[in-house]
Amino acid sequence: MTFESLNGGRVFKQKGYALLARFENLKGLQDGDDILMAGVRIGSVRQTRLAERKAEAVLSIQPGINIPNDAVAMVATSSLLGSNHLEITVGSTGLPFLQPGAEIKTRNTVDMNEVIAKLGSLGDRLEQVVATSARISEAMTAATSSRRSTSWSLTMDRNSPRPSQICRTSPPRSAAARGPSANW
């Protein structure tokens, strides 16, 4: 019964054997998409479906391909145009192989659309940081240049060893810098 279900309801066996892979999201994986191991095509996705609040892919693996039981399947992007394939890790040597109808371990991968969206928001934040640092730099430059142009004057009284008056003075500003109301 299980094999018949994994075999798409067919009683007659197709070439190869079926495995089941469950994911949170198939990210556009479709019937007929390739299954690759170490970059070599070893089968195709026979069917995709929703079962028990999970996305399932029924995999058709070519005859003679043995997949260790610690191998992991993940949805991968085949091209920038958005086509996908299922990538299966090679797994360890010396372990038992997955049997027909078995469930392969899976790992969720990041969707390229999610990455692009995050990069876009990171770029916006970076622009804000650059603008803020430019404003801070301008403020610091203005503060240090006004400190350099400020001078102090002392008025001494002949009868006292202490200064009678200490004044901070700045260089005279032009009329344009003082503004229109500063013209006397």
Domain boundaries, the chain: 2-90+98-108
Asked if residue 35 lies in contact with residue 86, where contact means CB atoms within 8 angstroms, the answer is yes
Sign of CA dihedral 49, 52, 53, 55: negative
Nearest-angstrom CA–CA distance, 32 and 17: 15
pLDDT the model gives residue 184? 43
What's the first-to-final CA gap in the chain, in angstroms? Answer: 102
Residue 11 CA: distances (Å) to CA of 3, 18, 44, 56, 58: 9, 13, 19, 21, 16
Q: Read out DSSP for 29-59?
A: --TT-EEEETTEEEEEEEEEEEETTEEEEEE
Return contacts of 121-128, CB within 8 angstroms, 24+ apart: none
The residues of the chain scoring below 70 in pLDDT are 1-14, 80, 82, 110-115, 145-158, 160-184
Q: pLDDT by residue (tens digit) across 128-142?
A: 877 787 778 777 777
Task: State the amino acid at position 12 in one-letter form.
Answer: F
